[in-house]
Amino acid sequence: MRKLTLLLSLLLYVFYANAQSNTGYYNGTEGKDGDELKAALNDIISGHQVWSYSSSKTIFKLSDADPDNADNVILVYTGRSEDNGNYGTGGNYINREHVWAKSHGFNYIPPMYGDAHNLKPSDASVNQDKSNKDFDNGGTQHPEATGCYYTEYTWEARDEVKGDIARIIFYMSTRYEGENGESDLEVVDAINTSPLPEHGRLSTLLEWNLQDPPDDFEMNRNNVIYTYQRNRNPFVDDPNFAQLIWGGGIAATVAIGNVSLNPVMPVAGEAVEVKANISSTEGDISSAQVKWGLAWNELGNTVEMSVVSGDSYSGSIPGQAEGTYVYYSITATNEADDVSSSVVYVYYVPKPFTGTLISIYDIQGQQVHSPYKGQVVSTTGIITGKFEDHYYIQDGFGKWNGLFVYDAGKLQNIGDSIIVTGLIEEWYDKTEMKEISDYYFISANHDLPEPLEVMTGEVEEGHEGVVVKVKEAVCTDNNYQGNHGMWTVNDGSGILRILNTAVFEYEPTLGTPYDIKGPMNWDFDEWKIDLRYEDDVQLANDNTPPTVTSIEIITKTNIKVVFSEDVDQQTGEDAGNYSVNNDITVDAANQHALVKSQVNLTVSELIDGNYEIIIQNVADLSGNVMVPVTIPFSVGIEELFNGAEVNIYPVPVKDKINIEFTMRGPETIQLSVMNITGLAIYEQHHETQAGRNKLSLDLENMSSGPYFIRLSSSHEVFYRIIVVQ
């Protein structure tokens, strides 16, 4: 049945975006300091969900919002509240400040360039003055950012954000350690080290970290960015990490780790057990408590923990009402009176879903417009794509099982199983859910539905919102910068657009075949695949052999052969794979040093007349061997056809081909179109006149691929290869 009614006892859970660090996020850091602690933190925060630099404008609307005006953001160095859409160059416009200056080691290279933890909204003119300076105290007061001071090489931030700046620098130095092609960034006790991947001054930043501890604004920023990137700035959650890594601090003698909850999903009104392993290097543990409250900085309640076994301790927080966030930290003391505390963790007490579910299949209704248009419904599925202000959910495999959801600000992640309630509408024939009133998190890390294979030219309504895959689709237009982020591919069945999104941007190569997957979107009367991450675009497993796209007589002893793709050097340079009739010998074959799809043949001298060349056994770089082909050509063609003036257009050919040429005299010629095997699929005689002639041919019913165009008189031939799309 497509319509499902849930029993009241079935609990499904809601989880919103403003959660702090999840329970156990920093497990594995206990008892560590120096490089060992830095490495442990890197393991936790690296490999984050990468977003493009342009998406930071959207993230700022939540991460740096003015608490008193949600339509504004707070600018980092001036503290001014500014309209969150007022971006521009110079003056009071907003710029995006790279706190770790991009010229200090990475410039425009992702993911460093677009990491939202390192980006802050800034006054444009102030940002120009700050430039790529290192951070240090002292200098001249800035005339606009009056809390800031500067010298030729340094910048002092205003007191209210000194700690924020320091913790961003510490994050960058910890997150990027030179792995996976990323920069190895190091915070140093020096200035003016650009373009080295270094930033300073360390001693000043350590002072700023202690001088200005995290506040609600900075904690909210960390929480928001976590919902997008799925990683946190550890130095906001625990500023003492910086002292332990760079400030000479020594790990506490009391270690608190392996923190967990039971149940993982709390139930309203029922106690939650907090468990942890607690140990000491200086005597036994004398006491342990869970301190908890309903705000991250107000943990006024205490629960004693007791030994379960060995170093395992447990304590229970009383049951709370549904919709409540509970913050807690564990504190322990040993017999030497050394005290240690964990970071502040949080859990959410969810509300149960007890309504009726309408399947995505029924919402789509196997038609263009949903039968539920204008109705508020609840449905369920796995999140298959997460973008700036929308995501896709899918329930099962196949057509009609995907849905576009217009929503922002939730803690969504690809692989989450959810229930969502909202209004079903049609946005220019795209079925979507909007005005979300409830969002229920069920569980995480689900396998995504297998992509539905589809031909690029055969996308239809049932594919809307579904994760699809196209195979061996050749890039036919890579100018996405000039086309709203879109590039096009064709697998021989027609054009399909690929959208470079704020989440992932790919630089395609014209003429290269790709396997591409992602959710199918219908937008502005166009089908397009929305890219989500790096794995969505892969070079195709090449199963297609090379073909000959053109031959050209360079001299009477040299013939240039151009293939449809790069060819294997050994087979391409085997002179035995080429033969020319009329007693012409092929003495040598040489692949071009740079253009690996081009082979130049050295032959015995050609005389004026008609010839045929047979090419066979040449393989591409994947080992696919070409189909043998016989290609006619002629020498001395200019006697009848002014060959240099023969113009065939458009290129590539679509529905119609035009051939313009100049004749030296009147002649009856034959126009032939042959497929790659040499079979004539069109032949027609035409009477031509001296001077300019034009022939047109309708190719609307021809399938895509290479074809030979042949113009021939009783004694002369003109030949060219075309590609029909």
The model's pLDDT over 137-148, given as tens digits with 9 standing for 90+, comes to 999 999 999 999
The residue length of the chain stands at 725
Give the residue ranges of DSSP H helices in 79-161: 124-130
pLDDT score for 719: 62
C-alpha span between 721 and 725 (Å, rounded): 13
pLDDT band at 6 (very low <50, low <70, confident <90, very high): very low
Q: Is 476 helix (H, G, I), strand (E, B) or coil?
A: strand
Spacing of C-alpha 91 from chain mean position: 32
Kindly state the percentage of the chain with pLDDT values over 70.
92
Per-residue buried b or exposed e for 84-109, using 16+ beta carbons within 10 Å of the residue's own CB = beeeeeeebbbbbbbbbbbebbbeee
C-alpha span between 95 and 88 (Å, rounded): 7
pLDDT score for 24: 92
pLDDT score for 725: 66
Question: Structure tokens of 644?
Answer: 């240099």
Show the CA angle centred on residue 16, arms to residues 331 and 172, nearest 5°: 65
Return the number of other C-beta atoms located less than 10 Å from residue 83's C-beta.
Answer: 14
pLDDT score for 244: 97
Q: Is 549 helix (H, G, I), strand (E, B) or coil?
A: strand
What separation in angstroms does the CA of 696 have from each of 190, 657, 658, 675? 72, 6, 5, 18
Spacing of C-alpha 531 from chain mean position: 6
Which amino acid type is present at position 684? Answer: Q
C-alpha span between 154 and 146 (Å, rounded): 15
Return the number of other C-beta atoms located less than 10 Å from residue 300's C-beta.
Answer: 9
Asked if residue 205 has pLDDT above 60, the reply is yes
Question: Structure tokens of 707?
Answer: 């074809």
Return the number of other C-beta atoms located less than 10 Å from residue 307's C-beta.
Answer: 12
DSSP state of 444: S
Contacts 24+ apart (CB under 8 A), 5-9: 5/356, 5/357, 6/353, 6/354, 6/355, 6/356, 6/357, 8/352, 8/354
Sheet with 154-156, strands from edge to edge, namely 134-135, 154-156, 149-150, 140-141
Give all domains of the chain, ordered by start, each with its CATH number.
34-245 (no CATH), 254-349 (2.60.40.10), 355-443 (2.40.50.200), 452-539 (2.40.50.140), 542-632 (2.60.40.1220), 636-725 (2.60.40.1930)
Question: Which of the given ranges, 300-304, 478-482, 553-557, 592-596, has the highest pLDDT on average?
Answer: 300-304
Element (H, E) at 206: helix 202-211
Asked if residue 392 has pLDDT above 90, the reply is yes
Question: Structure tokens of 720?
Answer: 């060219």
Helix, strand, coil tally for the chain in percent (to 5)? 15, 40, 45
Over residues 104-127, the mean pLDDT reads 94
Q: What is the DSSP string of 395-434?
A: -SSSTT-EEEEE--SB---TT-EEEEEEEEEEETTEEEEE
Report which of residues 496 and 14 the model is more confident about: 496
C-alpha span between 328 and 326 (Å, rounded): 7
Question: Structure tokens of 529?
Answer: 């695949």
Question: Which of the given ranges, 49-53, 225-229, 677-681, has the highest pLDDT on average?
Answer: 225-229
Residue with tokens 């594919």: 463
Q: Return phi, psi of residue 360, to 5°.
A: -60, -40
Report which of residues 5 and 585 the model is more confident about: 585
Residue with tokens 């008609």: 610
DSSP state of 669: E
Q: What is the dihedral of CA 132, 133, 139, 141, to 10 degrees?
A: 30
Q: Is 334 helix (H, G, I), strand (E, B) or coil?
A: strand
pLDDT score for 645: 59
Residue with tokens 């300091």: 33
pLDDT band at 410 (very low <50, low <70, confident <90, very high): low
* Mean pLDDT (the chain, rounded): 89
pLDDT score for 122: 97
Question: Structure tokens of 6?
Answer: 């849930």
Report which of residues 58 and 498 the model is more confident about: 498
What separation in angstroms does the CA of 588 have from each of 119, 554, 557, 564, 618? 59, 15, 11, 21, 15
Over residues 340-348, the mean pLDDT reads 94
Cis amide bond preceding 650, omega within 30: yes
Asked if residue 716 has pLDDT above 80, the reply is no
Over residues 652-669, the mean pLDDT reads 78
The model's pLDDT over 206-264, given as tens digits with 9 standing for 90+, comes to 999 999 999 999 999 999 999 888 899 999 999 999 999 999 999 999 999 999 999 98
Which amino acid type is present at position 525? Answer: D
Over residues 550-562, the mean pLDDT reads 86
Over residues 485-514, the mean pLDDT reads 92
Report which of residues 272 and 700 the model is more confident about: 272
pLDDT score for 15: 36
pLDDT band at 641 (very low <50, low <70, confident <90, very high): low
Over residues 327-344, the mean pLDDT reads 96
pLDDT score for 552: 81
Q: Are 514 and 489 in contact (CB under 8 A)?
A: yes
Q: Is 111 helix (H, G, I), strand (E, B) or coil?
A: coil
Asked if residue 8 has pLDDT above 60, the reply is no
Q: Return phi, psi of residue 278, to 5°.
A: -125, 125
pLDDT band at 5 (very low <50, low <70, confident <90, very high): very low
Return the number of other C-beta atoms located less than 10 Å from residue 268's C-beta.
Answer: 15
Report which of residues 534 and 185 the model is more confident about: 185
pLDDT band at 639 (very low <50, low <70, confident <90, very high): very low
Asked if residue 644 has pLDDT above 60, the reply is no
Radius of gyration (Cα) for the chain, nearest Å? Answer: 33
Over residues 538-561, the mean pLDDT reads 85
pLDDT band at 313 (very low <50, low <70, confident <90, very high): very high
Question: Structure tokens of 415?
Answer: 């692989």
Q: Is the pTM for the entire model greater than 0.95?
A: no
C-alpha span between 184 and 425 (Å, rounded): 48
Kindly state the percentage of the chain with pLDDT values over 90.
67
Q: What is the DSSP string of 243-261?
A: HHHTS-----SEEEEEEEE
Return the number of other C-beta atoms located less than 10 Å from residue 550's C-beta.
Answer: 16
Nearest CA to 708 out of 547, 469, 511 is that of 547
pLDDT band at 712 (very low <50, low <70, confident <90, very high): confident
Over residues 346-353, the mean pLDDT reads 87
Which residues share a beta bridge with 692? 662
End-to-end CA separation in angstroms for the chain: 44
C-alpha span between 401 and 547 (Å, rounded): 40
Element (H, E) at 173: helix 162-175
C-alpha span between 425 and 462 (Å, rounded): 17
Show the CA angle centred on residue 413, arms to residues 410 and 417, nearest 5°: 95
Q: Are 424 and 374 in contact (CB under 8 A)?
A: yes
pLDDT band at 723 (very low <50, low <70, confident <90, very high): low
pLDDT score for 27: 95
Strands (E), 294-429: 301-304, 306-309, 312-317, 324-334, 339-341, 345-349, 356-358, 376-386, 390-394, 402-406, 417-427
Nearest CA to 229 out of 57, 114, 120 is that of 114
Q: Is 224 helix (H, G, I), strand (E, B) or coil?
A: helix
C-alpha span between 175 and 185 (Å, rounded): 8
Question: Structure tokens of 457?
Answer: 């030219």
